[in-house]
Chain A
Amino acid sequence: SQTIHQWPATLVQPVGSPLSLECTVEGTSNPNLYWYRQAAGRGLQLLFYSVGIGQISSEVPQNLSASRPQDRQFILSSKKLLLSDSGFYLCAWSVAGLRQAEAFFGQGTRLTVV
């Protein structure tokens, strides 16, 4: 069966420090991968999505970047965190090419920038 792992679950980082959040998927190949952010009391905002290794689409200009070094690995990074980067980050995957493809979410990372 397919599973998605996202870590860490919580993270407190000082302003100006780097960030690396990792997401891996098991039990499938060539998935679509997504990074979302949910600010407090707000809906989910798509940050990046990837349809293949090295293929990253950015949805909003920001202080973050994403990389997909392997088929089932998606990394969210920042060189210097801002206070506004605080939020709940979710990784998700779906099967590419299926109209009824389900999207599965990780359990999220609560990031607090102090």
Chain B
Amino acid sequence: KNQVEQSPQSLIILEGKNCTLQCNYTVSPFSNLRWYKQDTGRGPVSLTIMTFSENTKSNGRYTATLDADTKQSSLHITASQLSDSASYICVVSAQNQGGKLIFGQGTELSVKP
């Protein structure tokens, strides 16, 4: 069964600190992996998207990594800001399912002053 598992479920960090969120997936055959940021009550907004041939992709203070062999991805946030408080969602799509997106449950990040 195609699944996406994220950890931790929630995380509290102090402003200015770094953090890393994890995503493990069993989706096969793999097409691409995306990280989204979702503010409370809003739609998700894309941070990064990677195919199997990409190991790292950055978007400002956000850096995503992908290991297609172990089927793991991480999202590293550098020098966190209060506005980083949100839910971060890992999304994987399979090659043979018409573009269907499979969502992880998300990691709820809270950045405290």
Within 14-53 of A, Cβ neighbours of B (below 8 Å) are at 32, 34, 36, 42-46, 49, 51
Judged by a CB distance under 8 angstroms, whether A62 is at the interface is: no
Residue numbers in B under 8 Å from A97 (CB-CB): 99
Select which of A36, A42, A57, A102 is within 8 A of B49 by beta carbon.
A102
Q: Is the interface of A mostly helix, strand, loop or mixed?
A: strand
Question: What's the A-B contact tally at a CB cutoff of 8 Å?
Answer: 66
Residue numbers in B under 8 Å from A104 (CB-CB): 46
User: How many B residues face the partner with a CB closer than 8 A?
Assistant: 23
Residue numbers in A under 8 Å from B44 (CB-CB): 44, 90, 105
- A46→B103 contact, CB < 8 A: yes
CB-nearest residue of chain A relative to B49?
Answer: A100
Judged by a CB distance under 8 angstroms, whether A7 is at the interface is: no
Known: A105-B43, A108-B41, A110-B41. A43 touches B101 (CB 8 A): no
Contact surface of A with B, Cβ cutoff 8 Å = 32, 34, 36, 42-46, 49, 51, 57, 88, 90, 92, 94, 96-97, 99-108, 110
Listed A/B pairs (24) with beta-carbon separation below 8 Å? A32-B98, A34-B100, A42-B105, A45-B103, A46-B101, A46-B103, A49-B98, A51-B99, A88-B41, A90-B43, A96-B98, A96-B99, A99-B31, A99-B95, A100-B32, A100-B49, A103-B34, A103-B46, A103-B91, A103-B101, A105-B43, A105-B44, A106-B43, A108-B43
